[in-house]
Chains A and B, each alone.
Chain A
Amino acid sequence: MHIHRHGRLEAALAALLSVGAGAPPAGASDWPQLWGPTVSAAVDEGAPPGAVALRELWRRPIGSGFSGITVKGERGYTGESDGTTDHAIAFDVKTGRTLWRAPLGETYRGHDGSRDGPISTPAVSAGRVFMAGPRGSLIALDSATGRVLWRQELVSEPRTKLPHYGFGASPIVAGDRVVLQVGGAEKSGLVAYDAKTGAVAWSALPSETKGDSAGYATAAPLTLAGQKLLVVTAHDRVFAVRPEDGAVAWSHSLGEAEEPSRSPLVLDTDRVLVSRFSGSTLIALSPDGSGFKATESWKSARLKGSYSPTVHAEGSLYGYNGQYLTCLDAKTGEVRWREKTQSGTLIRVGRHLVVLGESSGVLRIAEAASTGYREVARATAFNAGSQSSTGPSYADGRVYVRNVEEMVAFDTGGAAKAEVQR
């Protein structure tokens, strides 16, 4: 009895200490662009072990669209169609209520299996929201009011050809540049706009497209030998540029050109995972004279056939191979385990994976553990059978999900507990 009470006190103290000292305080995080702060679909915080849950906070209808959800402070941003017009929208993260809507253009109609509405995810930085519409307009909006600050038509430039399913690449903000993947019939790569004015700052188009279009990928930040770079998968290569002037720092050929759809995953300072239709390749980077050399460490066909990001934690990679959630050894590419969860999209929050089923409507939290799949929480987010291809977002202890019909916010348990303790 005495021991038991003592144990409980210790646990409570430990929980308090972990919030105060070791773990970053809950409440500090944002999800400012597609796949989060570092475009790695991961944040190194979250609920303390044992406190994970999925408690529904609010639910609201939303128009059709594949745009992900971005969160900065008290506001969230995404895209939707109202049936006739595509919009960027801002909503209150506490209630889901729409704060403003900004038109992107006439609704892009779904075809050949796709759906109506925007595809691209807005990026938010320094009071501005940057959003690309499916017809190729890039707009900058005031994040508080939705007022249009500037607008650029991507397809009016000869270097850009609209992809088959509409423009779907998402912007990333690097310093005072807004960077987007673009491509035309011959070349593809990145274009940067001045965040304040919308003026084109630079373009870097080192990839051959072989008649293909812009692609759907997003660039990711990479710090290499102290240099801040942006890395992107293009049609026939993966390459990195300096965000200030677009100078190519390194480039690595991937063989046959294919339309890029996924962001590269930066594992740490010198490794990048590139995922394509036929599989994934781990590329190691090392200094080479004044530049860098890229070497393929391994290739695996066990990470393919999915639009979900792959995430990295403590030497393991977690990602989708078709219907299977698969864990690989990041060093060798060998499969550690696989679990048939049906296809889905995942992100990592601390030591947990947050997984949204693509058509089951089920949201799950599982441990990010190299020893095996273990589910710790589950909730019904959407109707079974409804298409839910947009990945989850996480900010301030909350998971946000949307599909083509609804948007839902869940509390993961950890943040609510920390607030009580404060």
Chain B
Amino acid sequence: MRTLGAASLASLLAAVPAGAQPASADGGWPQYLGPARDGRAAQAAVFPASGPVRLKEAWRKPIGVAGSALSVLGETLVTLDSDEKGAGAIALDARDGSVLWRVALDAEKLDEDRGPSSTPAVGSGLAYVLSPGCQLRALALADGKQAWHVDLKAQFGANPRNGCASSPLLDGERLIVQTAAPDDKRIVALDSRTGALQWAAKGIARSNYSAPGLRTASAREVLVHHTDITQGDPRGGVTALRVEDGELAWHHTLDKFWSWATPVPIGADRVLVLTWNDAALVKAPKAGEAASVVWRIPAFTAYVATPVYKDGHLYGHGGDYLRCVRVSDGTTAWEERTYPGSVSLVDGNLVALSVRAGLLRVVEATPQAYRERAKLEVVEPGSRAEVSPTVVGRRIYVRNDEEVVAIDVER
């Protein structure tokens, strides 16, 4: 366990929105979009206070094709991969990249060019992995041995056209899963220790491939991103469900709304939702009120990750640009053409991965100007690195469709 000084603890608390429970610093990067599923790492004192940042490759390991991001707990890194037989879950030693175990999942619905795209969640000694064939398994982090298994097809009727691709959300001892079932039971909560059903949401709209988000500000809510393209003009929106029982808290519908993004909480009472063409800031309602759209702008678009929030500003990608946008009015503070990418917020800096240029950058998270502190070619230009960077301690992990790379921030 890392010990935190008083100063770094203070900066850690300052970095999280009011009301949120800070993820513990030794919690690693346990799931898609990080500990709180908002693209932000909890730790501080990763980068020098100012000046250039030096990045150095620690290790590199070949891996089978997948768009699955990297989850890290303790010294174990878990992700999905694929080989000629189908999808698999693989665990690497985060220290040196050596393979700890690999478990074959299933060959069903696997796109051999893109591989599986769900990101496992890790916690309490287990890795939760969802296969393209909609089989949810809890595997022991130590050796890959199966603790429990739920067939989302048999139990809930999951049958998405391109296979299950959502990423399970771990919230304490609850595992929240977007099943991609055509009717009810689209979102279910399972006991993370046993796989037993706790609740299944009723009457919410279609939500095939997106991963649920989590809001912990005023109330604990699961945020569900909906897209329905079966009715011509795509409609969708965001639904908030109470974490305890899956009951509807609030809902907001938008037109021309299509993507598989994850809703992210912004500050105490707002939620950012993304389509392939724009982003909308939705104000979560108080009891008895209706949700409303604060602004809708084309500055951010859905792709691999979601923008990250810091001190009244959002940082993220839209088209070919990395942008800083003011939350107050949706105006752009700065933009820089870095080409499509993903971003994680770490210790007051953006760790940005160009998903097709093979470049990793460290950029100061400030609205004043684009200030690049480091740039390193980490994977082959032109290859697909469609994940957001995973950051634990001073180590950054990225992958493309052929290797996992660990990069250290040098002191």
Contacts and interface: CB of A to CB of B under 8 A. Distances in A.
A196 interface: no
Contact of B357 (A111, A112, A340, A385): A385
Contacts of A305: 113
Interface string A85-116: 00000000000000000000000000111000
A358 interface: yes
Interface stretch (A26-34, A186-194, A292-300, A359-367): A359-367
B382 A342 contact: yes
B384 interface: yes
Contact of B381 (A111, A322, A323, A362): A362
A305 B382 CA distance: 16
A113 B382 contact: no
With most chain B CB atoms within 10 A of its CB, the pick from A340, A358, A385 is A385
B357 A384 contact: yes
A321 interface: yes
Contacts of A357: 381-382
Contacts of B340: 385
A385 B352 CA distance: 13
Interface string A311-323: 0000000000111
A386 B359 contact: no
Contact of B384 (A111, A113, A323, A344): A323
A384 B402 contact: no
B277 A358 contact: no
Contacts of A386: 320, 339
A271 B91 CA distance: 49
Contacts of B124: none
Contact of B382 (A112, A322, A384): A384
B276 A113 contact: yes
Contacts of A321: 113
B380 interface: yes
A383 interface: yes
Interface in B361-381: 380-381
A361 B377 CA distance: 14
A84 to B, nearest CB: 16
Contacts of B258: 112
Contact of B356 (A322, A344, A359): A359
Interface string A344-371: 1000000000000111111000000000
B162 to A, nearest CB: 12
Interface in A111-126: 111-113
A340 B113 contact: no
Contacts of B402: 340
A385 B277 contact: no
B401 interface: yes
Given A111-B276, A113-B276, A340-B402, A384 B381 contact: yes
Given A112-B276, A322-B113, A383 B339 contact: yes
Contacts of A383: 339, 357
Given A323-B384, A340-B402, A362-B381, A385 B276 contact: no
Contacts of B359: 384-385
A111 B341 CA distance: 17
B382 A360 contact: yes
Interface in A321-340: 321-323, 340
B236 to A, nearest CB: 13
A344 B383 CA distance: 11
Nearest to B355: A385
A111 B338 contact: no
Interface string A198-228: 0000000000000000000000000000000
B354 interface: yes
B132 interface: no
A54 to B, nearest CB: 17
B25 to A, nearest CB: 33
Contacts of A112: 258, 276-277
B358 interface: yes
Contacts of A384: 339, 354, 356-359, 381-382
Contacts of A358: 382
Question: Which of A323, A343, A344 has most B Cβ within 10 Å?
Answer: A323
12 contacts: A111-B276, A112-B277, A322-B113, A323-B401, A342-B383, A359-B339, A359-B382, A360-B356, A384-B358, A384-B381, A385-B320, A385-B355
Given A361-B381, A384-B359, 8 more contacts: A340-B402, A342-B382, A344-B382, A357-B382, A384-B339, A385-B339, A385-B341, A385-B357
Interface of A: 111-113, 305, 321-323, 340, 342-344, 357-362, 383-387
